Amino acid sequence: MLKLKLNSRFYNKTAIDKTIKDYSSLGNIKSIKKGNYFIISFDKIDLDVKKIITDEFSNYALAQMIKNK
Amino acid sequence: MEKNKKTFELILNSDIYSLSVVFGAAYIFIDKAYISLDGDPKKKIKVFFKAKPETSHNELKQIVDDFKNELLNYSLREQIVKSNQKVREIIIAQALLSPLYNAFSDFTEDSEEEEDYIEDPLGITKTWEKHFGKKEKLSVKKKKNAKT
Domain harbouring A53, CATH code: 3.30.70
Average pLDDT over residues B16-22: 91
- At residue B124, does pLDDT exceed 80? no
CA angle B9, B59, B71 (to 5 degrees): 50
Q: Which amino acid is at A50?
A: K
Structural domain that includes position B66 = 2-83
DSSP secondary-structure letter at A11? S
Statement: residue B24 has pLDDT above 80:
yes
What is the pLDDT at residue B55?
A: 86
- Residues in B touching A8 (Cβ below 8 Å): none
Say if B101 falls within a structural domain.
no
CATH of the domain at B39: 3.30.70.60
* Shortest CA gap B28–chain A (Å): 10
How many residues can be counted in chain B? 148
More confident residue, B133 or B83: B83
> Residue B5 pLDDT more than 80?
no
A67 → chain B, closest CA residue: B27
Residue B8, pLDDT above cutoff 60: yes
Average pLDDT over residues B14-26: 91
Supply the pTM of this predicted model.
Answer: 0.68
Q: What's the rounded mean pLDDT across residues B74-86?
A: 87
Q: Residue B53 gets which letter from DSSP?
A: T
The answer to whether residue A51 scores a pLDDT higher than 80 is: yes
Task: State chain A's mean pLDDT as an integer.
Answer: 90
CB-based contacts of B142, cutoff 8 Å, min separation 6: none
CB A52 within 8 A of CB A68: no
Residue B106 is assigned to a structural domain of this protein: no
Torsion of the alpha carbons at B141, B144, B146 and B147, rounded to the nearest 10: 180
Query: Which pLDDT band holds residue B139 (cuts at 50, 70, 90)?
Result: low
So what's the pLDDT on residue B4?
61
Per the structure, the count of domains in chain B is 1
pLDDT score at B125: 79
Domain presence at residue B146:
no
Q: What number is the average pLDDT over the span A10-22?
A: 92
List the one residue out of A59, A41, A30 whose CA is nearest residue B29: A59
The number of domains in chain A is: 1
Residues 6 or more apart in contact with residue A44 via CB below 8 angstroms: A27, A28
Q: Higher confidence at residue B63 or residue A67?
A: B63
**A7-66 residues touching B, CB cutoff 8 A:** 7, 9-11, 51-52, 55-56, 58-59, 62-63, 65-66
Residue B52: how many other CB atoms lie within 10 Å: 17
Range of the domain at A48: 2-68
Q: What is the mean pLDDT of residues B75-94?
A: 86
